[in-house]
Amino acid sequence: MTASRPRRRRFAGAVALTAATLLTASACGGDDDGSATAGEGDTVAVTLITKDSINPFFVAMQEGAKEVAEEENVDLTIAAGAEDGDEEGQIQAIENAIAAGEQGILIVPNGPGVNPAIERARDAGLFVIALDTPPDPADIVDITFATDNFEAGELIGQWAAAQLGGQPATIALLDLFNDKIVSVDYNRDQGFLSGMGIELGDDKRNGDEAPTGQYSGGTYEIVCNEPTGGAEDGGRTAMENCLTRNPDINVVYTINEPSAAGAHAALEAAGVADDVLIVSVDGGCDGVQAVKDGRIGATSQQYPLLMASEGVKAIADIARGGEPPTPSDGLDFFNTGVALVTDTAADGVESIDTTEGTDKCWG
């Protein structure tokens, strides 16, 4: 991680973000660089930039941000890449926010290509919060509000290992990309393998583990690391490719629930869906229903609406004189929480069932 650089700020004052809540207090005046803070009743302009506007996860994030923006007198602009991985679309949205003189940006980064634009935004005085996907390096933004993606992966890995009961694990890893490195991609993948008890290689790189060896319950074979783009059709294609290499796969890790849906469709078409454990990350309402229906064995539930709503509140508070939020203890981001959702509990792995998961889905 590189050292932080001093940045120009339009903001100063008093809102402290703790591990439990955002506490607000008011302050008046301007910054050291002479720029004025917004008044108590002034509108604050913020842009939310998601990876795409198709994935239900990002749709929920957008809806949550819109709701809070109305409450907080925030003029919210919604932007997104054309698809997961579209860095150029996100860069243009950042440049638009700078040109408009907005107070802040919330962004789910599509990759490291957006980093220079984020730096330009911060140098122009915008407060930048990453959501869901911590950038690399983490301090390229002011702070990240996200799930602990490594923990999310660990939970589904621990669950899968327990369900196997000592059987050999023949594993397919359906990742996000194979042409760029994104933290959410490697953290979930590496967390899953760690949860399985498999020795990791480089924990910021997918696919460099020993292809065979021992997991916590017995022997394993990793058949494939295939990209899905986080989409259902990508998940189906990736699963089909893996099955051509080894039709005896019995554990499938997926980067998210759309890719899990595609993987299940491929397994069902091959007539082997009932013999395979699928695990995933997201915890959307459709994903929780897939767990309830038995299409996914377990998923780690995230809270994107919380990420976005608290992000909007934080920028509004800062623009009106508040202090910037701070990371959770021991982390370089603010942890918005994760819970394993399954109807087949495993000893030693904390989880909630699909009834509770439905109540909480994407709150």
pLDDT for res 236 = 98
Overall fold of domain 149-301+339-360: Rossmann fold (3.40.50)
Residues of the chain predicted below pLDDT 70? 1-41, 363
What is the pTM (predicted TM-score) of this model? 0.82
Residues in the chain, overall count: 363
Bridge partners, residue 129, by sequence: 106, 143
CA 256, CA 231: separation in Å to the nearest integer? 8
**What single-letter amino acid sits at 130?**
A
pLDDT tens, 75-110? 999 999 999 999 999 999 999 999 999 999 999 999
pLDDT for res 5 = 36
Look-up: residue for tokens 């595609």?
A: 262
Structure tokens at 310: 């608290």
> Which SS3 state, helix, strand or coil, does residue 156 take?
helix
pLDDT for res 21 = 34
CA 119, CA 109: separation in Å to the nearest integer? 13
Alpha-helix runs per DSSP H in the chain: 56-71, 87-99, 115-123, 149-164, 183-196, 232-245, 257-269, 285-293, 304-319, 354-360
Neighbour-count burial of 133, counting CB atoms closer than 10 A to its CB (0-12 exposed, 13-18 middle, 19+ buried): buried
Q: Where in the chain is the domain with CATH 3.40.50.2300?
A: 15-146+304-325, 149-301+339-360
**Long-range contacts formed by 193-202: CB under 8 A, 24+ apart:** 193/153, 193/157, 194/150, 194/153, 194/154, 194/157, 195/153, 195/154, 195/155, 195/156, 195/157, 195/158, 195/159, 195/160, 195/161, 196/157, 196/158, 196/160, 196/161, 196/169, 196/171, 196/220, 197/157, 197/161
pLDDT for res 28 = 31
pLDDT for res 13 = 30
Q: What are the φ and ψ backbone dihedral angles of 145, each rounded to 5 degrees?
A: -105, 115
pLDDT for res 39 = 59
pLDDT for res 37 = 58
pLDDT tens, 109-126? 999 999 999 999 999 999
Overall fold of domain 15-146+304-325: Rossmann fold (3.40.50)
Structure tokens at 46: 């913020």
